[in-house]
Amino acid sequence: MIKFLIKGLLRDKSRSRLPIMVVAIGVTLTVFMHAYITGFMGDTIEMNARFTTGHAKVMTRAYAEDASLLPNDLALMQIEELLDSLRSLYPDMSWSPRIQFGGLIDVPDSAGETRSQGTAIGWGLELIANQDELNRLDLQKALRSGHLPRKSGDALLSNSFAGKLGIAPGDEFTLISSTMNGGMAMYNFRLSGTVHFGVEIMDRGSIIADLKDVQLALEMENAAGEITGFSNTGFYDNNQAEKLSDSFNSKFKTDDEFSPVMLSLSQQGNMGQYVQMSEVWSAYVSLIFIFAMSLVLWNAGLLGGLRRYGEVGIRLAMGESKGHVYRSMIAESVFIGIAGSVTGTAAGLGFAWLLQTYGLDISGMMQGASLMMPTIIKARITPTDFYIGFFPGVISTVIGTLLSGIGIYRRQTAKLFKELEA
Amino acid sequence: METQTIISVKEMYKRFPMGKTEFTALENLNLDFAQGEFTGLIGPSGSGKTTLLNILGSLDVPTLGEANVLGKSIGKLNTHEAAMLRRESLGFIFQSYNLLAVHTVFENVEFPLLLLKIPSQERRKMVQEALEWVGLSDKIRSKPPQLSGGQCQRVAIARAMVKKPKLVLADEPTANLDAANSHHILKTMLTLNQELKTTFIFATHDEKVISYLNRKIYLLDGRVDKDEVVTHNK
């Protein structure tokens, strides 16, 4: 009997292949959408993490209180020792010291007189000692002219800013700022290249130089405004980051305003709200989409069941019991749901993987944006994507069949026959 | 020779709800059917012949009165018992054949035997025998869409007869067939009736079918208008 039913299922395309395809398409969309939303929301967080907050950041307690003012006079001291501790205590994270600063860029003419000037926000990053920060900020891709800093004294300017200043790679300019101790800082840089990130606030007027040069310029030897930490998984995990900061703070935080304190990404500025919002929105969008797909697949199951009332009539006439017919229809829908969900999940993960790996460049649409948002949309595959499609795929399909099958019980057998004869 | 009564209908009514009122499809029916009859329920549309056939086939239940089929009171059977009665003792032949299109001729005829859990080898033998009765042994692997209307109805007859039921109920079995095919399948059914002593009850208004019957029950507005026994040899 089971063999007979399986034969029927496999041979009748409208009973097997078509419903499996419908379920697979629905599940593919569900899985892909979930990975896309997770990726998009996560990318915005990751972008903020890469440029400003890190997944976690260590500062002095005093610096943390006024972090938006970039108070380098309250910077961390003896960072080499602190970095050693961080690297040994938290090997799952990658730690990089950074100095953020503000200043004036002065471009001299051939006589040494000021030719042009502009205010800039600056980043002192480890650019020469290792490749981590280069990769993290994707500087090679952001490079528009010249080359990345190779030696001491090299610096990058944002492309449009360099244009406004009338400066080209190879030209020299002076950074005028204040030292850690409150004195005036003047330091000559050579423009090695210009960069464009596609993010307005990064491209408006920025200077990026090697940490050692900035330490020299701002008299911050073995000091840094902050030490940013990035999870080696490449993705921000709020729970993990908060556990990490709690662990660090319980070890290092004291009443001293210069004691180091660690803040997770969500504990910095408005990022907490954004992380919470992105989690809620991801859940909402996913739920709405799953609900919509559930309705579609529920209907598919319902119609599939109703369409078979004729066949049900024949089987009942031959003496099959209503319960057996009903159970066999449910078993079929479970098979269809599972087959469609497996196929759809595989396809959805495939598409999501492509978007995760290659991304979709939307920089053309992001010109002039002042928000720090990614210009390349990427999906992010999470463990949830491996099972989320089964909710609409199996459950909705089976519910549709369960509901349509109720008609077998509620209708008089003779009425099923009339539908059979119709 | 005394024949055994296998169906007994006494003071039977069938009413269907129709909005706030009721429509009486069968009214105060009293009928007996003996084993081996080749009987027709004859009447125009709406006379109640299909309703009566449905009740005799345990697909429906009487509203009032008694319908006793093969010793079972139809009104008192639960759905499982009704299914068992159909599975073990009844065969159905429909106007539009109602074969399972994705299954082969063999599988369609085999289906009632699967429900009876008959072992594979015996099943094969029984299906082959049934297909021989209807002259379709060479179409064993064909599927219904590959057959003509007459061939499809012969498969349906084989499916109804394969388990050698005591009673076969046929609702307008020739309605979709031309004259030649109609006579062919009627002769087949008559032969099976005579050889296997299977009782056939038809719902029909087709003159070709009527000409083969040995008992004609005329229904009009849900009542028996005339009940006549015919003696002839086709």
For residue range A220-265, what is the model confidence (pLDDT) as tens digits?
999 999 999 999 888 888 889 999 999 999 998 788 888 999 999 9
A207 near A223, Cβ under 8 Å?
no
Q: What pLDDT, on the 0 to 100 scale, is given for residue B230?
A: 84
Q: What pLDDT, on the 0 to 100 scale, is given for residue A414?
A: 61
- Name the pLDDT band for A372 (thresholds 50, 70, 90): low
Domain boundaries, chain A: 2-46+274-421, 56-235
Whether B60 contacts chain A with CB within 8 A: yes
**Which residues on chain A are in Cβ contact (under 8 Å) with B155?**
none
Phi, psi of B119 (to 5 degrees): -60, 155
Q: Nearest by CB to A319, which of B96, B110, B115?
A: B115
Q: Residue A405 in 3-state DSSP? A: helix
B169 near B53, Cβ under 8 Å?
yes
A57 near A66, Cβ under 8 Å?
no
Q: What pLDDT, on the 0 to 100 scale, is given for residue A176?
A: 95
A334 near A375, Cβ under 8 Å?
no
Q: State ipTM.
A: 0.83
Q: What pLDDT, on the 0 to 100 scale, is given for residue A273?
A: 83
Average pLDDT, chain B: 90
User: What mean pLDDT do residues A195-206 have?
Assistant: 80
- Name the pLDDT band for A279 (thresholds 50, 70, 90): confident
Instruction: For residues A421 and B95, give the distance between their C-alpha atoms in angstroms, rounded to a whole number.
Output: 8
Give the number of A-B residue pairs with CB atoms closer than 8 Å: 79
Q: What pLDDT, on the 0 to 100 scale, is given for residue B18?
A: 83
Q: Residue A95 in 3-state DSSP? A: strand
Which tokens in the block code for residue A70?
A: 């970039």
Give the type of residue at A123. W
Lowest mean pLDDT: which of A164-178, A251-265, A299-313, A329-343? A299-313
Give the type of residue at A29. L
For chain B, positions 189-208, list CB contacts with chain A under 8 A.
Answer: none
Instruction: For residues B145 and B152, give the distance between their C-alpha atoms in angstroms, rounded to a whole number.
Output: 9
Bridging pattern class, strands B64-69 and B167-171: unpaired
User: What mean pLDDT do residues A106-125 have?
Assistant: 91
Q: What pLDDT, on the 0 to 100 scale, is given for residue A412?
A: 63
DSSP, res A391? I
Put simply, the answer to whether B90 touches A322 (Cβ < 8 Å) is no
Whether A313 contacts chain B with CB within 8 A: yes
Instruction: Give the mutation candidate from B115, B157, B166 for the A interface (greatest A CB count, under 10 A).
Output: B115
Instruction: Give the mutation candidate from A309, A318, A417 for the B interface (greatest B CB count, under 10 A).
Output: A318
Cα–Cα distances (Å) from B182 to B69, B146, B217, in that order, read: 28, 19, 21
User: What mean pLDDT do residues B92-102 have?
Assistant: 86
Sign, Cα dihedral of A245, A248, A249, A253: negative
For residue range A47-73, what is the model confidence (pLDDT) as tens digits?
888 888 999 999 999 999 888 888 999
In whole angstroms, what separates CA A157 from the centre of its chain?
A: 27
Give the type of residue at B120. S
Instruction: For residues B81 and B61, give the distance between their C-alpha atoms in angstroms, rounded to a whole number.
Output: 13
Q: Nearest-CA residue of chain B relative to A3?
A: B114
More confident residue, A99 or B135: A99
Sign, Cα dihedral of A304, A309, A311, A315: positive
Which domains, ranges and CATH numbers included, belong to chain B? 5-229 (3.40.50.300)
Instruction: For residues A310 and A68, give the distance between their C-alpha atoms in angstroms, rounded to a whole number.
Output: 72
Which helix H or strand E contains A101, and what residues bound it? Answer: strand A93-108
Strand partners, B15: B24
Phi, psi of A155 (to 5 degrees): -150, 155
Phi, psi of A224 (to 5 degrees): -155, 145
Is it the case that residue A418 has pLDDT exceeding 90?
no
Percent residues over pLDDT 90 in chain B: 67
Q: Nearest by CB to B80, which of A11, A321, A413?
A: A321
- Name the pLDDT band for B88 (thresholds 50, 70, 90): very high
Q: What pLDDT, on the 0 to 100 scale, is given for residue B73?
A: 95
Is it the case that residue A367 has pLDDT exceeding 70?
no
How far apart are the CA of B233 and the nearest CA of chain A, in angstroms? 31
Helix/strand/coil (H, E, C) string of B128-190? HHHHHHCCCHHHCCCCHHHCCHHHHHHHHHHHHHCCCCCEEEEECCCCCCCHHHHHHHHHHHH
For chain A, positions 394-413, list CB contacts with chain B under 8 A.
Answer: 412-413
Is it the case that residue A300 has pLDDT exceeding 80?
no
Burial of A418 (C-beta count, 10 Å sphere; 0-12/13-18/19+): middle
Put simply, the answer to whether A317 touches B110 (Cβ < 8 Å) is no
Q: Cβ neighbours of residue B142 under 8 Å, at least 6 residues apart?
A: B104, B105
A89 near A244, Cβ under 8 Å?
no
Whether A212 contacts chain B with CB within 8 A: no
Is it the case that residue B44 has pLDDT exceeding 70?
yes
User: What mean pLDDT do residues B78-97 have?
Assistant: 90
Which tokens in the block code for residue A233?
A: 């998984």
For residue range A180-195, what is the model confidence (pLDDT) as tens digits?
998 999 999 999 999 9
Lowest mean pLDDT: which of A95-109, A177-191, A213-227, A352-366? A352-366
Q: What pLDDT, on the 0 to 100 scale, is given for residue A415?
A: 64
Q: Nearest-CA residue of chain B relative to A412?
A: B60
Is it the case that residue A369 has pLDDT exceeding 70?
no
Lowest mean pLDDT: which of A150-164, A181-195, A341-355, A387-401? A387-401
**Which residues on chain B are in Cβ contact (under 8 Å) with A420?**
94, 98
Whether B103 contacts chain A with CB within 8 A: yes
Average pLDDT, chain A: 86
Cα–Cα distances (Å) from B127 to B122, B123, B180, in that order, read: 9, 6, 25
How far apart are the CA of A277 and the nearest CA of chain B, in angstroms? 53
- Name the pLDDT band for A322 (thresholds 50, 70, 90): confident
- Name the pLDDT band for A92 (thresholds 50, 70, 90): very high
Put simply, the answer to whether B111 touches A318 (Cβ < 8 Å) is yes
More confident residue, A3 or B228: B228
DSSP A236-295: --HHHHHHHHHHHHHHH--SSTTSEEEEEGGGSTTHHHHHHHHHHHHHHHHHHHHHHHHH
Q: Nearest by CB to A318, which of B95, B103, B112?
A: B112
A419 near A344, Cβ under 8 Å?
no
How far apart are the CA of A22 and the nearest CA of chain B, in angstroms? 21
User: What mean pLDDT do residues B206-227 have?
Assistant: 93
Is it the case that residue B233 has pLDDT exceeding 60?
no
For residue range A21-36, what is the model confidence (pLDDT) as tens digits?
988 998 999 899 889 8
Q: Cβ neighbours of residue B121 under 8 Å, at least 6 residues apart?
A: none
